[in-house]
Structure 1
Amino acid sequence: MPLYEKKYEYQEIRVNTNEDINKIIADYNSFYNLPRPGISAIDDPSVYLQTFFRGQSDESWKIRASIEGAKEQENEILADFGSMHDGNSFDLIAYIQHYRTGTRFIDFTTDKDVALYFACSENMDKDGALFMWCYSPHKAEWYTASVLAEVAQINSDSKMSVQELSEMILRKKPKIKEAFKETIELNTAIVSFLDHGFMAVPPETAKESNLRLKRQSGCFYVCGVEFEHPLEGMARISSHAGYNMFYPHSVQIPKGLRNGNALVKMVICKELKEEILEYLEKKGITKEYLLPD
């Protein structure tokens, strides 16, 4: 019986060799025919439906955003670094995520060796986990990333309507105002992603100022927010979208990263960790390389 079963459901697979890992990845990509064009009409391989990886050194940990363990709220954290990155909120949050403290970004990579390192580099007495998930990502330059980056900077702890958010965005972002002539249009667009978030690939500008991001072939799942009421039924249609209320500093991990149909969790036995680290070191994948100061 193959390790990876070619079917649309969450799978948790225990692996005992590096060859097992490579075979599972190959079978997964074959089953989903990856990479291939995804949601975007542009022919850009960076936003193709593709496989993303995440390594965690204790397999019992759930996938979570690092901001969940932070003492400060996002807007307070961002205010401390406000003069960096020329006002580019996405690049700033990416820098903070890699060098300082928690954000609503969840680290992923397109390089399975990088994820393997983080799955094996700590907690040597625990089994590790290598997560694999396919997604058609957004680009950090798109309006969707700008919206969630702006949400992170909202000062108020109070709940807020989508209409209020749209009005704020249109005042602050001229390029978005060019694309959405009416507030109702932006309301409808925002409720299509704000409750669950999306995977985002960083721009080259972020990599230029963030060597860790570059060397780790990093990308991020940008978490959405909690709404006062679930976005069901009529809640997402244009005439109702603006009335939906949300909590700006809440963090919503999507169901897909819990036990989604396309999610695969490979459990790496603790006895295999040293062998994998030796294999990675021969390829130049070390702590010094991945985590430069």
Structure 2
Amino acid sequence: MAARGERKPSYPVFRVETWDRFLKLITGPTYLNWAFRGERDERWPLYSSLSRYLRDFGVDRRAWAEQESRILRIFKRKAHQFLDKPPDSDDDFQWLALMQHYGAPTRLIDFSWSPYVAAFFALERTLADGVVWAMNPARIHTGHSPERTRMDPRLRGNFRRYFLKGRYRIIWMNEPQTMNSRLIAQSGTFAVPGVLDLPVEEILGDRNQENILAKIVLANPVREVGMRELYRMNITHATLFPDLEGLAQSLGYELEFHWAYDPRTMRPYRT
């Protein structure tokens, strides 16, 4: 429920208290073809890492386009030292996906076609209530936006034309032509906002979002059962990040889990 003076969101907000309730919600017919993103704090607006960085460190909005262009240019000029086969120099979207892969702040927002992968990212490191955002790619484009094929940032020049200058209040969603191992493992896709100073829910806020966006709040008690069930499904850092870094990160949850007993209570499981 919205607080007094707060505008009630036009997208549905669900608060689930159990893992079973989450499963019932995301396996129903409504969200079959949607994409999902997990965040470990449901209070966070749906911003890109680039938006958060620019806002948090006080970069003047008038400099945002030039600074984004600058880090893209720097990465292109220097990354070749570490790449066997760099993307084409004018394939900006492929370069952005590569930057995202290695942790650079970009305007790309990670989503997954799997609600279970999103739930993992919502629950794995949270101490609060996590959230799974759901978005319907088929409905995110408005009649006031350029046509989807025309604005496709994978096409030469389109990223700079439609996105970099921040003139279009739009969201585009899809994958790069060439997908890396992490994107494949996570059933990943990207949402690309046309502006950086608004979160996704506000970019889409000029119309009824009932069939466009949904927010599923996972109350903290969901974590214990949810993480155990995701582990049993083999959804872990080691499988979602199939490299040495992912393996190392996966050991955190191993501290909480044992096949023979509950490490929190030291009680053996029933046989």
Q: TM-score range with shorter-chain normalisation?
A: 0.5 to 0.7
Distance in 2 separating the partners of 1:264 and 1:289: 27
Distance in 1 separating the partners of 2:135 and 2:98: 24
Deviation at 1:93, TM superposition (A): 0.4
Distance in 1 separating the partners of 2:99 and 2:149: 18
Report if aligned partners of 1:75, 1:152 keep a CA contact under 8 Å in 2: no
Report if aligned partners of 1:119, 1:128 keep a CA contact under 8 Å in 2: yes
Distance in 1 separating the partners of 2:49 and 2:158: 16
Report if aligned partners of 1:196, 1:252 keep a CA contact under 8 Å in 2: no
Distance in 1 separating the partners of 2:223 and 2:150: 39
1:135 aligned partner:
137
Give the TM-score normalised by the residue count of structure 1.
0.60
Cα deviation, 1:42-92, whole Å, max 9, x if unaligned, reads xxxxxxxx3111101111111101101336822122112214312222111
Stretches of structure 2 that go unaligned for 5 or more consecutive residues are 1-9, 55-63, 81-85, 142-147, 246-271
1:169 aligned partner:
none
In the superposition, relative to structure 1, how do residues 256 and 11 fare at CA in structure 2: closer, same or farther (>3 Å)? farther
Deviation at 1:276, TM superposition (A): 1.0
* C-alpha RMSD over aligned residues: 3.1
1:236 aligned partner:
none
Distance in 2 separating the partners of 1:269 and 1:142: 41
Pick the structure with more strand per residue.
1
How many residues end up aligned between the 2 structures? 202
Stretches of structure 1 that go unaligned for 5 or more consecutive residues are 1-8, 36-49, 161-190, 226-249
In the superposition, relative to structure 1, how do residues 109 and 257 fare at CA in structure 2: closer, same or farther (>3 Å)? farther
- Is 2:70 the counterpart of 1:76? yes
Cα deviation, 1:79-138, whole Å, max 9, x if unaligned, reads 122143122221110121121211111111101111000000112x20100111212289
Off by >6 Å, runs of 4+ in structure 1:
none
Give the TM-score normalised by the residue count of structure 2.
0.65
Distance in 1 separating the partners of 2:107 and 2:94: 13
Counterpart among 216, 221, 238 of residue 271 in structure 1: 221
Q: Map residues 229-268 of structure 1 onto 2, 5 A cutoff.
A: 250-254=196-200, 255=202, 260-262=209-211, 263-268=213-218
Deviation at 1:287, TM superposition (A): 1.1
2:19 aligned partner:
18
Deviation at 1:12, TM superposition (A): 1.4
Secondary structure of the corresponding residue to residue 281 of structure 1 = helix
- Is 2:175 the counterpart of 1:201? yes
